[in-house]
Amino acid sequence: MKRVTLLCVSFAVISACAPSKSVKRQHAMTVKETEKVESKYTGPKRRIGVVEFENKTAYGKGRLGNAASDILITELVKSGKFIVVERGRMKKLLEEQKFQSQGFVDANTAARVGKILGLEAVVIGAVSQFGVKTEGHDYLLKQGKRQTAEVTVEIRVVDVETGRVLLADSGKGVVKRKWGSFLGMGTKGGYDETIEGDALRAAIVQFVDNIINQINKKPWSCLIADADGNELYLNAGQDSGLEVGQRLKCYHLGAPIRDPSSNLIIGHRERYIGEAKIVRYCGQSGDCSVANIVKGSGANARKKDICRLAD
C-alpha cells in the first residue's frame, strides 16, 4: 500500500514538472461589440496620423497611452488601407507648434496638425479605464492564481479638411490568465505585464474596421505639392497605390463654408482647375507622382490645392 502511495505521489510530482500539464495557463479575450460602419471603397491608400493617446487612468503612467496608439498604428498599417505618419513625427510637430501644452489634443488641434502634414484624417484617443484583478488559492498540495485585466479605449477620427469628428467609438477588452502548480512544482505566476498589451489590443481591434470604413466614405484625395504650368507634383504615388494613367479632378480650395446653426466647417468653396492624368512617379519617398493637366487649364494650380479621383 505504501508503495502504491509513493508511486502516486511520484507520478504527481513528475506531472507537475511537465510544462504541458503542470503549468496551467489559459488566455481568454472577450470584447464588446461596436456598431459596424459599412463602406465598399477599394481605392488608393489614405494618409492619416495617430496622436499619442491620453491615459485617463491612474495606472501605467507613461506607457498605456503610448502602447495604445502604437497598437492602433500597427493594426491600421496591417489593414493595407493607410499610409500612417509616424507617431514621433506627430509628437514633434505638436511640440514645435506648442499645440500640446495641456497634455491632450482636441479635434481642432488635430485638424491643424493634419493640414501641415498633408493628411486626410487624424485619430485621437484615450485609455479611459484600466484595471487588473488578481485572485488565487493556496491549498496543501495545489496552488493557483488568476489575473484579469479590463480596459476601455475611446477614439475620435477627425476630418482634417473640416475639423469635424467623423467617428467616435470605443472598445472594451478583457483578458484572463491562469497559472497553477502542484506541490510547489510549476509556476507561481507573478504579475505578467503582457496582459496589459493584450487587453489593449482586444479593445482596439474592435473599432479598426469602423475607422477604415468611416474614412473611406469620403472621396479619396491628395494635395498638390508643387506645380509648373500643366505639370502637377502630387503628395501621393506608388506607395499610396496611385497608378500611372489614373485621372484626377483638381480644385482650388477657397474660404470655408460653415453650418449657420453650429458654425462648424462643412466644406470649402472650390474652383475647378482641371482634370489631370498620372504620367510617372517621382522622388525618393515612394509617395510622389507627376500628373499632366489634360482638360482645363492648370495655370492657376498651386501648392496645397486638392485633387480627387475622377468618376
Sorted by where each starts, the structural domains of the chain and their CATH numbers stand as: 28-132+147-177+184-215 (3.40.50.10610), 221-309 (2.40.10)
Contact, 199 vs 150, CB < 8 A? yes
Considering only CA atoms, which of 150, 111, 94, 95 is closest in space to residue 127?
A: 150
Residue 215 cell numbers, joined: 474614412
pLDDT at 109: 87
The pLDDT confidence band at residue 23, using thresholds 50, 70 and 90, is: very low
d(C-alpha 240, C-alpha 252), whole Å: 22
CB 300 within 8 A of CB 273: yes
Three-state secondary structure string covering 239-259: CCCCCCCCEEEEEEEEEEEEC
In this predicted structure, what is the pLDDT of residue 24? 30
- Report pLDDT digits (tens) over 209-242: 999 999 988 889 999 999 988 899 999 999 999 9
At residue 192, the 3 state secondary structure works out as coil
pLDDT at 36: 56
- Tell me what percent of the chain is helix, strand and coil, each rounded to the nearest 5: 25, 40, 35
Burial class (CB in 10 A: 0-12, 13-18, 19+), 205: middle
pLDDT for position 143: 63
The mean pLDDT of the chain is 80
* 115-124, 174-183, 298-307: the lowest-pLDDT one: 174-183
Average pLDDT over residues 44-50: 93
Backbone angles phi, psi at 221, to 5 degrees: -150, 160
**pLDDT score of 19 more than 50:** no
288 has pLDDT over 90: yes
Using CA atoms, how far apart are residues 74 and 90, in angstroms rounded to an integer? Answer: 16
Q: Give me the mean pLDDT over the 73-87 stretch.
A: 91
